[in-house]
Each structure stands twice: as C-alpha cells, then as structure tokens.
C-alpha cells in the first residue's frame, strides 16, 4: 500500500459467518492502535481522484461485495479527522476503476461502545481491489477510519452467529452481547449473565484466561436451534490488557476461620483450613498456589472456586510513598541545592507522593541529585518491569538508572532519559537479570539534577514478568 499508514487498518472479510482478522465485536474501542489515519495526501490508485487521503484493500481473488460497515475514527483526540464524505472505488485489475458510490459517515461518538455505521450494500458488485477515498472530514486535517467490515456474501436475513470476541480477563463486564441476528433468542454459557430484560452481559473475570463458549438459542421457523461461538479471554499480563490486579500484601495469604466471608481472595500463594458456610460465595485466586489444608470445608449451598490466576506482586516497599520517605534514600552533591518531601495535594496513587525540587541543578552530572531504593532482591534470569508515575513543573525530563547494588554493578537500565510533562504519566521499563547466578540486591535510582524545577514521583512499582 503506497499510502502512508500511521496505524494499522483492520480489514475484516466476512464470508458465511467466518471472520478473519481482529473484527471482534461490533463495537469499537477508542484505542488509536485500532485505526487507520492518513495525514499526507498521495496519488490515489484511482488516478481520477488525484492526490488524496485513501486506503486500498486487495482481496486474494475477485470477490462479490455486499454490505460494507464502517466505524469512523473513534479516538477522542482525532474524531474530527474521521471521514465525512467518502468515495468507494472498485477495480478488477487495479488499473481500471469505477466510483460505485459516494457516501456520508457520521462522526464517531468517541465512546467505547461506538457501534458501526452501516454504509452501503453493493449488491454483489465484483472487485479484487477496493479504495476508500476521503472527500471530506469532520474538520480534522488528517483522514481516518477505525475499522471496516466488507461482506463478500449476502448475509441479510440469514441467521449467523458472529461473536468472535477477544476480551481481557480484567477488562470488566462486556455488556450487551449481540449475535448480529435478526431473530431474538437467549445466550448461555459460563460467564453469561441474563439481565432478565432481554439483554445479556458477559463477565470474563468469572472464567479466567482461555477459550469460552457462548451458545445462542432461538426459534427457527418453530424449531429450537442453537449456534455456538467462542470467546477468547486473554490473561491480564497480555500487553493488550490493563495491568493485572496487585496480589495481596502477603507472599502467603492464610484464609481461615469457620465462616470465610464472601469475597475474592488474591495472593501469590493462598492457604486455607477454614470453612465456607451455606450461601457464601468464596473465590480463591493464587498466582502460584492454592492449598486447601485438612479442616477446609465447603458446606452445602455454598459457592466456592479455587483457581490459579495472575496477579502482580509489588516487590518495592513503600513504592507509593504512603509511608512517607521510608525505604527511599536521598543524596545530592554539595554543588546542587534541593528540597524534597511528601505532599498530599499532588498525588497519583492513594494519598501521598514525593515532591522533589531542584533549586540549583547540575546539567552535566544528572546523577548529582537523586532518590534511590536499594532494598529489593532480584533473582537470576528473571525479568522485571519497573513502572512509575511522574510529572514535572519546568522540567522536561528525568533520568532512571537500574542496576545491581554490588557485585559486578551490572546496569540494566543506564541513566535513561524519560520525557515528563505537566500531567501525570506512567512510564514502564523492563529488564532481565541475565548476568547473575544468585540473588542480588537491586538499585533503582531516579536522577533529578539535570534541570531546575519540581519533580513529582508516585506509585513506583517493580513486578516480576514471565
Ligand atoms: Ca502514593
């Protein structure tokens, strides 16, 4: 494709209920990763349309084109660059083109439950190549779309159950299951919740990572019929998912007592010799282990589930500065003048954050004013993810160093400059301790001397990653 693609376009080619690519549900996220946007005009494959914003789709063979669904650009910052008027050109050979339709597309709602805009039914026109050309936008200088579905069969009126859903275990409730069917029916399967008003939701958290099957049952000319579809549930550690929940505060959580309260219990390792009484609903989730010891009991009419589920173990004590400055060590050279302390009015996470002001800096020696933690033991060949939230006033960047405290003093992250802005941003850095053979103490150091101004730091988090 010659046109400049800033983001991956998602093309979903649908035949007989089969979906290729990441078509997923018929709703679109506001994620900019899921969009096509062109900011520089270039020569259109359909030469008549000249220099323009366009996107071309090529099929493996000549196809018949029926319904085309379009999701407009749904990112809040870019919705104005969504296409307003669009020409659809078809070609059998990539050389001879026809504009078969010119259509209008409403601006996207920028919400996560943005539904597709049904655009046009080409009623079986043949094409191997298809070009969408933006003739105008909703005011933006670029032009883009979030997603496109092109049907190569006439599916109107045919029952087809197209769920093809990929969700994160920790993304919360998926509301309003929809089968794209013109008949009404019932959904069932693990994690499916019947709201009693004809609507159904899906809770991936109930099931956890893996594949899950949803069944859609309906009456087809008086005959009870059911269709099934698979939902893929991604583990929270998948890069597409939100951060995993933090495990409990203990390496080993012991849940005992003769009446364990209804709740979900998380930790790296979980042990119990308690009792789950009738009507209680108890969910044990261990990252590495759930051990039910002698004496553990689930009474009749109680609900109990034990599972291995990912959670993150925060290895850094007081990473969120809630215990003020404990676990953190401050140092500055004599030629650098600083002032620092805990604040409660500029925080990212919970109630407190670190404020660090450089009054007189040292631009050449950025490490001459720093805060560090030297207390975490790291394991050989284990990978780690360091994340933290920072913001600044008058300071464009800060520097981060991560390395061994002793031994070889191997540096995993070498005084890396990270841009910071006026608003809180979370930064993520990863490294692997591939040079050590025994546990070693780690040094995490933030260097501030490079610029004069105020830095805020909060929720410094170190977790193991697989
Ligand atoms: Ca905090």
Mean predicted confidence (pLDDT) in 423-442:
92
The Å distance, Cα 402 to ligand 1 centre, comes to 21
Rounded distance from Cα 350 to ligand 1 centre (Å): 5
- pLDDT, the chain, mean: 85
Which residues, including other chains, have CB under 8 Å from residue 7's CB and lie 6 or more apart? 32, 33, 34, 35, 36, 37, 144
CA of 460 to the centre of ligand 1 (A): 9
CA of 152 to the centre of ligand 1 (A): 53
Which domains does the chain carry? 11-151 (2.60.120.260), 165-234 (2.60.40.10), 252-308 (no CATH), 329-465 (2.60.120.260)
The least confident of 71-75, 246-250, 319-323, 437-441 is: 246-250
Q: Regarding predicted confidence, which is higher, 296 or 123? A: 296
What does the pLDDT read at residue 225? 82
Interatomic CA distance for residues 101 and 356, integer angstroms: 60
pLDDT at position 331, please? 96
The whole-number pLDDT of residue 45 equals: 94
**pLDDT number for residue 407:** 66
309 token code pair: 């589920």
Instruction: Provide the edge-to-edge strand list for the sheet that holds 453-465.
Output: 337-343, 353-360, 453-465, 383-393, 425-432
Which of 362, 338, 342, 337 is CA-nearest to residue 352? 342
| Nearest-angstrom CA–CA distance, 99 and 89 | 4
- Whole-number Å distance, alpha carbon 354 to ligand 1 midpoint, is 8
* Residues ≥6 apart with Cβ < 8 Å to 70: 83, 86, 105, 116, 117, 119, 145, 147, 148, 149
Asked if the model's pLDDT at residue 216 lies above 90, the reply is: no
Name the residue with tokens 């993150």: 312
Question: What is the whole-number distance in angstroms between the Cα of residue 389 and the centre of ligand 1?
Answer: 9
Per-residue pLDDT of 153-174, as tens digits, reads 776 655 566 666 788 898 888 8
Mean pLDDT on 331-343: 96
């Amino acid at each position: 494709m010659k046109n400049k693609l800033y983001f991956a376009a998602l093309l979903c080619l649908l035949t007989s209920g089969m979906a290729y690519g990441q078509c997923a549900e018929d709703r679109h996220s506001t994620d900019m990763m899921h969009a096509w946007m062109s900011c520089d005009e270039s020569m259109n494959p359909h030469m008549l349309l000249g220099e323009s914003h366009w996107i071309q789709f090529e099929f493996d063979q000549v196809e018949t084109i029926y319904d085309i669904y379009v999701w407009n650009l749904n990112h809040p910052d870019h919705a104005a660059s969504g296409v307003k008027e669009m020409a659809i050109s078809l070609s059998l050979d990539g050389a001879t083109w026809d504009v078969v339709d010119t259509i209008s597309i409403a601006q996207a709602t920028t919400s996560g439950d943005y539904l597709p805009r049904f655009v046009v039914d080409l009623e079986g026109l043949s094409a191997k190549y298809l070009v969408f050309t933006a003739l105008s936008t909703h005011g933006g200088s670029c032009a883009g779309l979030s997603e496109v579905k092109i049907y190569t069969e006439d599916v109107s009126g045919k029952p087809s159950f197209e769920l093809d859903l990929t969700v994160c275990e920790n993304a919360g409730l998926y509301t309003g299951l929809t089968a794209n069917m013109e008949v009404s029916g019932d959904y069932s399967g693990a994690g499916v919740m019947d709201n009693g008003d004809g609507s159904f939701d899906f809770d991936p958290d109930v099931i956890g990572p893996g594949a899950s099957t949803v069944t859609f049952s309906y009456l087809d000319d008086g005959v009870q019929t059911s269709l099934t579809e698979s939902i893929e549930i991604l583990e929270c550690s998948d890069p597409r998912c939100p951060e995993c929940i933090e495990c409990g505060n203990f390496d080993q959580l012991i849940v005992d007592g003769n009446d364990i309260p209804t709740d979900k219990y998380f930790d790296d390792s979980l042990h119990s010799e308690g009792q789950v009484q009738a009507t209680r609903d108890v969910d044990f989730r261990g990252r590495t282990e759930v051990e039910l010891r002698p004496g553990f009991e689930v009474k009749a009419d109680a609900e109990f589930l034990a599972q291995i589920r990912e959670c993150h173990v925060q290895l850094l004590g007081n990473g969120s500065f809630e215990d003020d400055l404990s676990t953190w060590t401050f140092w500055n050279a004599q030629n650098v003048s600083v002032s620092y302390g805990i604040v409660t009015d500029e925080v990212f996470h919970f109630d407190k954050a670190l404020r660090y002001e450089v009054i007189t800096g040292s631009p050449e020696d950025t490490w001459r004013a720093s805060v560090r933690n030297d207390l975490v033991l790291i394991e050989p060949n284990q990978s780690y993810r360091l994340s933290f939230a920072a913001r600044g006033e008058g300071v464009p960047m800060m520097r981060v160093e991560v390395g061994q405290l002793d031994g070889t003093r191997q540096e995993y992250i070498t005084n890396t400059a990270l841009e910071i802005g006026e608003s809180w941003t979370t930064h993520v850095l990863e490294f692997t301790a591939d040079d050590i053979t025994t546990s070693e103490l780690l040094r995490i150091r933030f260097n501030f001397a490079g610029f004069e101004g105020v830095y805020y730091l909060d929720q410094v988090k170190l977790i193991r990653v697989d």
